[in-house]
Structure 1
């Protein structure tokens, strides 16, 4: 084995042992636990080279070393292929998410599940409504002056709005049918009253159709502030010792949701890991963030936030698995 390959294996061993034990890792421990066919002296030389390269450092006067942000990055970059979950784990995820009753419930469940799987803080971004296409519309008459429009998007979101017109049950059904026939599969910017075939309708019903389509367009193009679901914040308290200062900056960054939304927008890979100083916000300079896209390409992201000393392999496997099942469920 070449010296550079062995040093990479030594780095991997240091990361794995430090994540598991929380203790600085020495050459003797590496030789005993990982079956290197070289002496402890050779491993010490490898560790010296890794330290010179900025991949590990010595936190105290002890002989042990811990990874730096650059070391974690080098380790993550060696994970060329994320192993799939077991059949039992996949079934558990599928069962848990499929029990949801609506869009809000499925995202909340996804966050809780991800926090449980990784023991970190889970963050799930709501899909942007402007990128959603219409799946189905239903009009319901509720009084002599008001009706309710219920719109279901292809992301699984269910939105409802009041419409200030009186409709009979027959009119509500007829208008719903025409709108569904015209706009199913289209996004909000493709919706306009002129596109509906209403030439054969009496003037009053044509006006009703126009009013309903206007409300529908508002629903489908609403630029409401993007929302996040968070779960597992208490997990940070259990990892407080992993932060050189305190967890306060991380908590503040989580509270400022715009920080996470900006971070989500900046990463382009389907499965992305940002470590320590790679995160542009100072509050996350001692944290790592693992995220993945879910839904149709570019729809939204979910992920986890935790200390740089985390189980990256498990985090990447869990984030990708939940994202894929979420995509499958919302697309069904």
Structure 2
């Protein structure tokens, strides 16, 4: 088990040095483990490992389920129809396409094919970090894709699934159909969002460290204990501006600890900023008891001389 990123986002962003470092770290861990086979669920991880470790055996999780069978209790009598969207990073992986469809058949689903699927599948709007580099184009791409079928979509890429959900398209991830309960409802849920996804990964990592490796989990950092109140409007602002909850917490910890903040007498709000590394975060907030109410947040990469 490896709890880390494969480096694909860095490669897509043109950060060759960062990507190279990720591959070197994986290589070191892989060699320490005795050069075992890789089993991956993520299609992007599959491609990175396949290209970076040509001498190793890379197996998709969907091949494993196809070969050894599914868990007991996951098969329903007449679950309905799903339309398969293949991840763009599997275009040349026919064996993965076939495994996915055989799994769906074992789950008793009727399978619909999109006009452009398998080796001709289209992007969901996330590939190459399109949704960050050109969000307007990414919205157009996903909007076109989700209107190709009225049926619920089935993906085996988490980012594809969340991109479709962001466009209000009912979509399952394959693991929803294997392990989920009340499956019909799962297709309609929203994606976790920028901050929640970050928190979910940290929570999973801590749980794995504690339950699998029996290691001591690091306690919460001081800023993580700061309680925030975030309205839906502020959450949307943070999502669109790619600001994490922990970014907000760091600003408040810095402001409250240093006293470097501006006070607006008209509305009782504070304005504070903090630059942890290369991005400066600004937060407008007020306080109620132990909670900090967030009214606005934004960020920039400018450096102002003398400040």
- With normalisation by structure 2, the TM-score equals 0.26
Q: Which has the larger radius of gyration?
A: 1
* Greater relative contact order structure (CA < 8 Å, 6+ sep): 1
- With normalisation by structure 1, the TM-score equals 0.24
